Structures are given as C-alpha cells and as structure tokens.
Amino acid sequence: KLTYFNLTGLGEPIRLMLAYGNIKYQDCRISKEEWAAMKPGLEWPHLPMLEIEGKTLFQSMAICRYLARQLNLNGRSNWAETQIDMTVDALNDFRAKVVSYYYLPDGEEREKKKAVLLSEVLPLYLDRFEKQVANNKGYLVVGKLTYADIIFLSFIEYISYMLDKAILEKHPKLKEHHQRLKSLPGIESWLKTRPPNPDDARTLFS
C-alpha cells in the first residue's frame, strides 16, 4: 500500500517503479485533512509511505532504493551503486531548486527566480545529464537501466509542469531517453491509465 497525496511529486517515482515491476498495490491518495489526522500516529511524519509485508517504509528515496534492489534496478558493485547514488542526489538537488521557486507567492521575486532557473540552473544540470546519457549506452549511469533513470523520468515531468515549459528540447539524447523510458512495459500502461487531474502542490500546501 502506497500512501501519498493526489499528486505526482515524490510519490510518482515509486508508482513508476511499481508499474515497471508489475507489482500490484493499493494507490492510496489522501487529502490534506486526512494527512493532518494521520500524521501524529506515524513513526515518521512524512509521505510517501509504503507498507509492504507487514512493515512500513518512509522517505521517498529510501523506498526507491528498496524497490531498486527488488527489481534489479540497482548497481552490480559498490562503485556502481555510488555512481547511481551520486546521480540521484544531483536529480534531487535539481528538483529542490525548482521547488524553491514554485512555492514562492506570485510577484517579481518569483519571476526573477524563474528566469535564473531557465537561464542558469537548467543548463547546468541538463547539459551534464545529456553527457551522462551519451557516455552510458543511452542511460544515465552504469550503462543500464537503473532507478536513477526512472526518477529522472518522473522529475522531468514534475519540473516541466512547475516551469510550464518543455525543458528537453535542446537536449536530444535526454529527450530520446525520456521517450524510451515512457515506452517501457508497465510504465507505458501506467502513464495511460493513472488517475487524471492530480492536485496542484502549490494549492494543496498553501
């Protein structure tokens, strides 16, 4: 059972991994009010939360790493694992920079921050990810599909939505990588059938 809000956000990489692995689960999407009532009784006051085999996992990236080991989406050595971790950390840094803009109130400061993201932050990260895909047989890292690729798929959708912009147009290898991942069995089906019209995080948490 996966519990999260009716958002993509930090829950969607997990949903995509479960879809890729053809793992059946309950996709429990809760309201802000339901979360307020639930939170005091939890071991950790964070979502997403995955309940599996009588145990409960918190923290989105920890859940992704757990599923990666189950689905052979991890590295084959300590070095490979570290390379994947490094890429995932960079993806999370990228996401955090965009999120910090997205939650700002409308106004001049928000528009200035968006301009910096588009002119400086996107090239900084996307240029490097483009090189990684070029050097890793069409994947982000270690020359094979890993959970870093699936997190990338989810975060690019998330970031494009927040910036209201298709952000891969100047990065053909990343664009091809993105389309290929969307066509993977399980993931393609999920993207076609997932619940429509998710809540907007900026509205939900305001």
Mean pLDDT taken over the chain: 95
CA quadruple 38, 44, 45, 46: dihedral sign: negative
Domain spans of the chain, in order of start? 2-71+187-201, 78-182
The sheet with strand 27-30 has its strands ordered as 27-30, 2-5, 49-52, 55-58
For 2-71+187-201, which CATH class?
alpha beta
Q: What is the pTM of this model?
A: 0.95
pLDDT at 165: 86
Q: Of 83, 173, 167, nearest to 137 (Cα)? A: 173
The residues near 145 (Cβ < 8 Å, ≥ 6 apart) are: 73, 139, 184
pLDDT at 193: 95
Domains 2-71+187-201 and 78-182 share a fold: no
Summarize the confidence of residues 5-21 as an average pLDDT.
96
pLDDT at 204: 74
Instruction: State the architecture of 78-182 in CATH terms.
Output: Up-down Bundle (1.20)
Residue 203 has pLDDT above 80, yes or no: no
58-110 confidence digits (pLDDT tens): 999 999 999 999 999 999 999 999 999 999 999 999 999 999 999 999 999 99
pLDDT at 206: 62
